[in-house]
């Protein structure tokens, strides 16, 4: 148990951000505007625990981890200015770990000059982000068979990548879906090992919250409660804390479509702008919610598998769970397991989202998706509790 948990348990109020991955699938809603990276966020030093997690999960040396964090902070700082410089020629961004720079795809060489002047590298491509997003929305309107895992706009490929479960590409329904997708826009097909699933679990020990016989993990404190995954409970569901005491109620929840929810708290519980490090890294203060671009490092806290780190692999992905499709998700190579649903994805001191689901585990690896926290805040009119 962390020192923070010990202190708060004495006060009967474990912080509401403690835990793992889960997600809420809900009707699509417009995401809140992406905030600029604040100057204070760029001053956060790399803790020994965070460096250790990056060494373990990303295979970096200590020096490489520190250099990467510094490069990512620079990328965050120039992202908004570079995207504005691209204007209507904007075609997506990603962080290139090889060069240590943010790359902005554009469809105009003239705009590329303006983007480079803003501090980012560029790549000239054919399709704008607006064109690819429109094509993806056309695909989103189709019913996907279970053999289709997910689809998203890939700015590097300048295509919509559709992932198909290994061994299912010859299914008639999968082929028909791919034919319709190709008519909607430029498509690239990839194969994945297994279909995604959510990460809720039955009641077991740990640092969770409970609803019915399901254990999930808290995402982030908001004023009045916390956000988490929608598949963990429906509106009106009662919630108990990690110690079994009464905690609050699901005030809003949506799944599938989106995967998010918010829980109002009472009964002596209060919110804390912290994500648990589980003794593997110091507990992380939350200072904002600007969005990390593709290619940057990211970490997850959950009640089952605790603290793990990895990389952002894709944004605005549609994930085809057995229960239905969920939109506007972010894919990572951070592992997760049952009970981690709803937990915190954080980059530095910036909240990123709540764990939804994925495939694989923390022994063999895999992919995990999260629902962006800014979308949840915007949907319910919530304010993130920050330090």
Backbone phi and psi for residue 354, each to the nearest 5 degrees, phi listed first: -110, 140
Size of the chain, expressed as the number of residues it contains: 387
Catalytic residues: 231, 259, 341
What pLDDT, in 10s, does the model give residues 205-243? 336 899 988 999 999 999 999 999 999 999 999 999 988
What's the pTM?
A: 0.78
User: Taking all residues of the chain, what is their mean pLDDT, rounded to a whole number?
Assistant: 87
CB 255 within 8 A of CB 323: yes
Q: What is the pLDDT of residue 44?
A: 47
Which residue did the predictor score with more confidence, 33 or 300?
300
Copy the structure tokens of residue 52: 């250790």
Nearest-10 crossing angle of helices 109-117, 62-86? 130
Tell me what the mean pLDDT of segment 97-120 comes to: 96
* pLDDT band, residue 103 (cuts 50/70/90): very high
Q: What single-letter DSSP state applies at residue 173? A: H
Element containing residue 303 per DSSP (H, E): none
Residue among 201, 255, 256, 251 at smallest CA distance from 226 = 251
Residues ≥6 apart with Cβ < 8 Å to 183: none
Which of 17-31, 94-108, 284-298 bottoms out in mean pLDDT, i.e. has the lowest?
A: 17-31
Element containing residue 228 per DSSP (H, E): strand 225-228
Rounded Cα–Cα distance for residues 174 and 146 (Å): 8
pLDDT of 43 strictly over 60: no
Residue 307 CA: distances (Å) to CA of 59, 111, 209, 292, 345: 16, 41, 17, 18, 10
CB 378 within 8 A of CB 345: no
* Beta bridge partner(s), residue 197: 358
Q: What is the pLDDT of residue 282?
A: 84
Q: What single-letter DSSP state applies at residue 149? A: E
Cis check: omega of the bond before 256, within 30 degrees of 0: yes
pLDDT of 321 strictly over 90: yes
CB 321 within 8 A of CB 356: no
Tell me what the mean pLDDT of segment 259-266 comes to: 95
CB 299 within 8 A of CB 334: yes
Q: What is the pLDDT of residue 207?
A: 64
Q: Give percent of the chain above pLDDT 70.
A: 86
Tell me what the mean pLDDT of segment 37-45 comes to: 43
Q: What single-letter DSSP state applies at residue 41? A: G
Tell me what the mean pLDDT of segment 181-201 comes to: 88
Rounded Cα–Cα distance for residues 344 and 132 (Å): 29
Rounded Cα–Cα distance for residues 343 and 349 (Å): 15
What letters, b where the CB count within 10 A reaches 16 and e where it falls short, cover 126-140? Answer: ebbbebbeebbeebe
Q: What is the pLDDT of residue 2?
A: 43
Q: What single-letter DSSP state applies at residue 87? A: G
pLDDT of 5 strictly over 50: no
Question: Would you call 48 helix, strand, or coil by DSSP?
Answer: helix
Residue among 160, 164, 165, 163 at smallest CA distance from 184 = 160
Q: What is the pLDDT of residue 200?
A: 61
What pLDDT, in 10s, does the model give residues 114-158? 999 999 999 999 999 999 999 999 999 999 999 999 999 999 999
Question: Would you call 246 helix, strand, or coil by DSSP?
Answer: strand
* pLDDT band, residue 270 (cuts 50/70/90): confident
Q: What is the pLDDT of residue 205?
A: 33
* Beta bridge partner(s), residue 5: none
* Beta bridge partner(s), residue 321: 324
Residues ≥6 apart with Cβ < 8 Å to 211: 232, 233, 237, 238, 239, 240, 250
Q: What is the pLDDT of residue 281?
A: 85
* pLDDT band, residue 33 (cuts 50/70/90): very low
CATH architecture of 143-195: 2-Layer Sandwich (3.30)
Return the C-alpha torsion angle 239, 241, 245, 248, nearest 10: -40
Question: Would you call 77 helix, strand, or coil by DSSP?
Answer: helix
What pLDDT, in 10s, does the model give residues 322-368? 999 999 999 999 999 999 999 999 999 999 999 999 999 999 999 99
């Amino acid at each position: 148990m962390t020192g923070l948990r010990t202190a708060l348990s004495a006060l009967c109020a474990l912080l509401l951000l403690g835990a793992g991955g889960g997600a809420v699938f809900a009707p699509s809603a417009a995401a809140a505007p992406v905030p600029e990276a604040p100057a204070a966020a760029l001053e956060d030093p790399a803790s020994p625990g965070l460096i250790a997690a990056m060494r373990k999960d990303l295979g970096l040396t200590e020096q490489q981890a520190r250099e990467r964090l510094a490069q990512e902070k620079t990328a965050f700082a120039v992202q908004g200015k570079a995207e504005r410089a691209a204007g209507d020629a904007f075609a997506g961004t990603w962080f290139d770990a090889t060069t240590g720079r943010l790359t902005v795809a554009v469809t105009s060489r003239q705009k590329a000059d303006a983007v480079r002047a803003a501090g980012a590298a560029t790549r000239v491509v054919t399709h704008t982000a607006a064109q690819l997003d429109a094509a993806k929305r056309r695909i989103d309107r189709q019913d996907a068979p279970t053999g289709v895992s997910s689809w998203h706009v890939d700015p590097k490929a300048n295509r919509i990548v559709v992932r198909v479960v290994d061994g299912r590409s010859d299914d008639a329904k999968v082929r028909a879906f791919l034919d319709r997708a190709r008519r909607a826009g430029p498509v690239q097909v990839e194969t994945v090992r297994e279909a995604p699933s959510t990460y809720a679990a039955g009641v077991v020990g740990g640092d969770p919250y409970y609803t019915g016989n399901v254990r999930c993990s808290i995402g982030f404190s908001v004023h009045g409660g916390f956000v988490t995954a929608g598949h963990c409970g429906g509106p009106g569901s009662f919630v108990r804390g990690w110690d079994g005491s009464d905690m609050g109620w699901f005030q809003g929840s949506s799944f599938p479509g989106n995967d998010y929810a918010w829980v109002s708290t009472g009964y002596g519980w209060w919110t804390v702008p912290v994500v648990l490090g589980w003794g593997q890294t110091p507990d992380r203060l939350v200072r904002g919610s600007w969005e990390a671009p593709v290619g940057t490092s990211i970490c997850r806290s959950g009640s089952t598998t605790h603290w793990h780190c990895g990389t952002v692999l894709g944004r605005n992905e549609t994930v085809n769970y057995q229960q239905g499709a969920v939109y506007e998700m972010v894919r990572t190579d951070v592992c997760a397991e049952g009970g981690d649903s709803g937990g915190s994805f954080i980059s530095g001191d910036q909240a990123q989202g709540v764990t939804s689901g994925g495939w694989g585990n923390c022994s063999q690896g895999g992919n995990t998706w999260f629902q962006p926290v800014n979308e949840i805040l915007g949907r319910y009119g919530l304010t993130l509790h920050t330090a």
